[in-house]
Structure formats: C-alpha cells, structure tokens
Structure 1
Amino acid sequence: MSKILGVLGGMGPLASAHFMLRLTLLTPAERDQEHIPAVLWSDPRVPDRTAARLGGGEDPLPALLRGIRGLEAAGCGAIAIPCNTAHGWYAAMQAATALPVLHIVEATADELARLGVTEGPIGVMGTAATLAMRLYQQGLEQRGWHCLVPEAAEMEGQVTPGIALVKANRVAEAYAPLAEVARSLVARGARAVVLGCTEIPLGIAAGPALPFPVADSIDALARAAITWARAD
C-alpha cells in the first residue's frame, strides 16, 4: 500500500490548509524527501454538516464519498479528514473504502494522553452538531474521561459565532469568544479542553496562549497521520 496520505478537506478551506501546515511542521524531517507525500482534496462545496444533522439540510455524504473516490484514484493509502463534524458520517465513509480512515476523535484522545491528562473532567468545544452527535463524549468516555460541554447560551453566543468568524477569515476576532468559553469550562472543573472543531484551534491561536492544557484536534490528526506514514 502506498504511503501517500489523502486529506479530505474543504470543511472549511482554512482548516484544511492549516492541517497541511501542521502536518509539515510536526513531521521530523531534515529535507523535502523526508516529508509525507500527501494529496489534499479541498472541496468547500460539501453541504454544511451541522445543517444536515440539526436542520434537515442537504446530506453531505455523496460529496464526501466523491472526495474519497478522488483520493483513491490519486493512489492514497489512508485518509485523514480535518473536519470533526464530518465524522458523524465516519462509519459510512469507512464502509465505502478499503483505505483506513484515521479517526479524529481517537487521535484527540491520544493527544490528551500525550499531554499527560489521564483523568478528571475534560471540556469539549465543537460545533453544535458535533456535540449533539456526542462524538467526543462517547469516544472519550469509552477511554475513562468524563466530558463537560459549553452551556447552550455559550454555544449560541460565543462558540458558534466564533467558528463562523474563522470561516469568514476574521480569525483574530474569534479569539475572545472562544477563549472565554474554554476558560469557563476550566472554571467548571475541566482538567483540559478539547478543541473539537478544526476552526477553533485557529481562533485560539490568534491570541495569548491559554494557561491550561488544550488538545488541538488538528495537531492530533496530524500526529496520527505521521504515525501511520512512519509505520512499517
């Protein structure tokens, strides 16, 4: 099997581009030839995942499968999807391809362990659909963590607007509302905060570093991809 990584992206485009940047920066390499061959399929036409789950919007699965077919045709050996909410269709995507599809929730759980956060409540930030589907709650609770999520008012007033600001390329403006919610989760007892939407790490990175552990789902997926690429 080829060690070319396929990246099913465009959800959103900036998050996908940032994933490629982090994949490059986190790869231990001294020269071009030591980096991971990768093909980015960045298709922002994929229907909105949150609207599909919560508002009866158009099903994104056909567009996701179209991207998978394209990555298969390009000779990729595994697929990474730098969009958390798209993992609500993970089972259908994995069933449609023989290629391994790296799971962003599993990767983020590994990132928490790498950070040394082995117990205690974990704060989880994400889109309304990601939280409603309990992608992180189920995945982390299976590994022994208890999850705290933002209050409904925080989702409506800060998290969802913060994500929208990143998607609108107004990244610096996203820091204040997103960081405020992260701090609120820690004040409620969270030992660390999962940035479980790939727009959220971009907003958080636009301001001062938070004084507690954060598990960045973009970095987590990049590390999982590097582990896959370097495996014998």
Structure 2
Amino acid sequence: MLGVLGGMGPMATVDFMAKVVRNTPACRDQDHIPMVVCSAANIPDRNAALRGEGADPLPAMAEALRRLEAAGATCIAIPCNTAHLWHAALQAGTPLPILHIAEAVTDALAARPGDTVGVLATTSTVTGGLYQERLARRGLSWRVPDPAGQAEVMQAIRLVKAGRAPEAAAILRGQAEALVAAGCHAVVMACTEIPVALAAVEGDLRARLVDATEALARACIQACASPTLADAA
C-alpha cells in the first residue's frame, strides 16, 4: 500500500494522487494501487524553517509518517520537493522505503537528449542542492533563474497555494521560457505547485517541461508493482 505524506500543499497532494491513477495501467478498480493519505497541512512551512524563521517541520512530518505506518503503508511518497531536504532524517526513522522525488526525476531525464537542465523550485530547494548533485552525477549541468527570477518563482508558488494558479502560470511560463532561451534542453518543475499552475501549457515548452510530481508517481507505480511490495500490500 502506498502511503502519501502530503499536505505540502494540499492541492499538490491531490495532483500527485491523480497522476498515480492516470499512470497506472488499469482496466478496473482492483487494478489500481491502494493508497493511504495523510494530508498534514499543519506541517510548519519548510522554507521558513530553512531560513531560520519558523518551526522545524521534522517532528510533524515524522508524526504523519507514523500515522501512515499504522495505517498499513508499505512504501512512502512525499509530493513536496523541499520536504525532501529532510528525506534522510525521515528515512532513518522508518523501515519503510521513502521514494525520493529528485531520484525519480533524474531517472526520467536520463532518457532525454541534451546536457543542460533548468530547475524551477523553491529557493530552499535550490540552495539546499537537492537536484544539483544528482544532476551532476548523471553528467548534466544545470541552471536556475537569476535572483530576480527566483523571487518571481517564489511569488508564483505562493499564488498557487492561495488558489490563484492562473496568475502564477504567467510568471512561471516566463521563467521556464527564459531557461530554455539560456540553453536548457529541459526544465524541471521541481516544486509540486508548479505543475498545477502550468497544467495547460502546450507546444514546444510543454515538450521541454519535466514534471517532478509525475516522475514520482511513476516511480511509485513501479515500486508498488515489485514482488516484495506487492506481497506486503
């Protein structure tokens, strides 16, 4: 059973669940992956904590993880990129495998031609190096927006959380196009709010966007199809 440690944010959690369903090869209800979800919207703000301006979210994330364990989860997904900066601490506290969103993305990028990847993410995800080291291990270079552009990305993420995705879309599209113009063959939507805002994008830009939420969903489907986890479920 897939356990979803969600609520960061709630809309991104619903988007992740929908992508698990859409990507599962199924002909009937029973072909789908059993999921148990803890939409723990009370988890303190991850970015504020990393700036030293808010409470540590780790205890609340660990409590949500314990709830998923008690509910019978056999593996865990966290549809929030910034929360993965606590991945090692969370993994150390549970015997259940916690799939890593950045690993899922870099696996997906391996099949794409090109060597420079743009990353649209929270400032904490960027400064925490969540993607850069993994991209470098795959022989990929990376670019992020300049400081003014990064401030716009953060504004757009806040707009999505406030239910104002259309306003966010215009900002994020501009930043993604700027990364493409700077030579990026792909642009990772490395905050789970960003695919919500850019869901309607089409054309050449759509072909260049890499959805971290969808990459995680596909990794979860593959993991849950493995004999060990299938037997546990």
In the alignment, does 2:10 pair up with 1:13? Answer: yes
- When residues 103 and 211 of structure 1 are mapped into structure 2, their CA distance, relative to the original with a 3 A threshold, is closer
State how far apart, in whole Å, the 2-side matches of 1:212 and 1:120 are. 16
In the alignment, does 2:133 pair up with 1:133? Answer: no
In the alignment, does 2:60 pair up with 1:66? Answer: no
Identify which range, 176-185 or 203-212, moves more after superposition. 203-212
Unaligned runs of 5+ in 1: none
Give the aligned partner of residue 154 of structure 1: 149
Q: Which of these residues, 38, 41, 45, is aligned with residue 38 of structure 2?
A: 41
Identify which range, 218-227 or 48-57, moves more after superposition. 48-57
SS in structure 1 of the partner of residue 43 of structure 2: coil
Q: Deviation at 1:212?
A: 3.9
State how far apart, in whole Å, the 1-side matches of 2:37 and 2:23 are. 17
Aligned counterparts, 1:1-232, within 5 A? 4-113=1-110, 116-156=111-151, 158-209=152-203, 210-232=205-227
**Are the aligned partners of 1:11 and 1:83 in contact in 2 as well (CA < 8 Å)?**
yes
**Are the aligned partners of 1:171 and 1:206 in contact in 2 as well (CA < 8 Å)?**
no
Give the aligned partner of residue 230 of structure 2: none
Report % sequence identity. Answer: 50
**Are the aligned partners of 1:159 and 1:178 in contact in 2 as well (CA < 8 Å)?**
yes
Q: How many residues were matched structurally? A: 226
State how far apart, in whole Å, the 2-side matches of 1:23 and 1:143 are. 26
SS in structure 2 of the partner of residue 47 of structure 1: coil
Q: Deviation at 1:214?
A: 1.3
State how far apart, in whole Å, the 1-side matches of 2:147 and 2:50 are. 17
Identify which range, 209-218 or 53-62, moves more after superposition. 209-218
Q: In structure 1, give the amino acid aligned to 2:191.
A: C
Q: Deviation at 1:55?
A: 3.6
SS in structure 2 of the partner of residue 46 of structure 1: coil
Q: In structure 1, give the amino acid aligned to 2:167.
A: E
* TM-score, normalised relative to structure 1: 0.95
Q: Following superposition, which runs of at least 4 residues in structure 1 exceed 4 angstroms of deviation?
A: none
**Are the aligned partners of 1:193 and 1:215 in contact in 2 as well (CA < 8 Å)?**
yes
**Are the aligned partners of 1:119 and 1:144 in contact in 2 as well (CA < 8 Å)?**
no
Q: Deviation at 1:48?
A: 0.4
**Are the aligned partners of 1:172 and 1:206 in contact in 2 as well (CA < 8 Å)?**
no
* TM-score, normalised relative to structure 2: 0.94
